A and B are shown apart, each in its own frame.
Chain A
Amino acid sequence: MDLGMTVLIVDDFATMRRIVKGVLKDLGFKNIIEAENGKAALSELKKEEVGLVISDWNMPEMTGIELLKAVRAQDQFKSLPFIMVTAEGQKDNVLEAVKAGVTNYVVKPFTPETLKQKLEAAFKQ
C-alpha cells in the first residue's frame, strides 16, 4: 500500500468519517479527503488524483452503490480500489456491490483490524 496516496472517505455521517479517518491515520495514510455523498465524491474525483475510495451505502443525493456504478462506468476508474463500508450486510446488497465491481466490503460495526485487513486485501487484488 502506498501510504502517500489520497484516500477519499464518503459518508453522510461525520462520526463515521471521523472513525474511518482515525483508522487510516493510525495505518500511516497522510492524504485523506472527505465527501458527504456520492455526488460530492464524484466532484472530488474530478479534482483530485484519488488512489482509494471508502464509501458508505445509504446516503442522500447519491448512494454508495450509485457512486460505485458511476465510477466503474469511467475508464480511468475501472481498477480504482473501492471499499464499501456499510451497515447494509444483507445478501442482496453484497451481491449487488460485487456485480457493480466493488473491491471489498466491510459491514459496520467493524474493528480497526477488520478495516486494515480489508484494505490490505484490496491492494493485493
Chain B
Amino acid sequence: MDVRLINPFIDATLHVLKMMASVEAKAGKPYIKKTECAAGDVSAVIGLTGEANGTISITFPAKSIMAIVSRMFGETITRVDGEVSDAVGEIANMISGQARQKLEKMGRVLQGAIPSVIMGKDHQIKHISSHPIVAVPFESDDGGFTIEVCIEE
C-alpha cells in the first residue's frame, strides 16, 4: 500500500477529534497489524470504494471514548452504551469524509460507505482484503485510540 495514503487519515483523525471534542491527540508510529483483534472496546469500520477498495477503522478503549464523548456532549458519560457507539460511528464517518477530501486533492477519488460499529472486549475488526493493515496509535489526555487503514490498489 502506498504509505502516502495514510497521512490523510492521520490528519483527518486529528482534525475531527479537535473540532468535535477539543481533543489534542498525537499520532504515534504506524505499524503493520497482524491480527484481527481490536485494540479497543468500541470500533467503527467503513468500507471504501472507487479508484481503490479498502476499509478504515477506528477503535477506542472504553475509558478513552467515554472521556471523548463526554467532551462532545458537554456532559459526563459513564458507560459505553448506544449513544457512545453512535458517536463512534459518526466520528469514523467524519474521518472518512475528511480523509477522502484530502485524497481527492491527491487525485484519488474514493466513496465511503455507512459505518458499522462493533462493541465488546476482544472483538475482531474485519478488513476487506489480505493486503497489509497499517495501524496508527494515537495518544491524548483522554487516553489512546487506534486507526487502521487497509487499501488495496
A interface residues with partner B (beta carbon < 8 Å): 12-16, 18-19, 22, 58-60, 86-92, 107-111
Contacts and interface: CB of A to CB of B under 8 A. Distances in A.
B96 A87 contact: yes
A90 B48 CA distance: 14
A22 to B, nearest CB: 8
Contacts of B74: 22
Contacts of B73: 18
Interface residues of B, number: 23
Given A16-B90, A107-B97, A108-B97, A58 B19 contact: no
If over half of A's interface residues share one DSSP class (helix, strand or loop), that class is named, otherwise mixed; here it is: loop
Interface string B48-67: 00000000000000000000
Contacts of B101: 89-90, 107
A61 B101 CA distance: 25
B93 A87 contact: yes
A18 B86 CA distance: 11
Interface in B84-138: 86-87, 89-90, 93-94, 96-98, 100-101, 104, 109, 112, 114
8 contacts: A13-B90, A15-B83, A19-B20, A60-B114, A86-B97, A87-B94, A88-B97, A109-B98
B94 A109 contact: yes
A14 B15 CA distance: 21
B27 interface: no
Nearest to A63: B114
B114 A110 contact: no
Contacts of A15: 72, 83, 86-87, 89-90
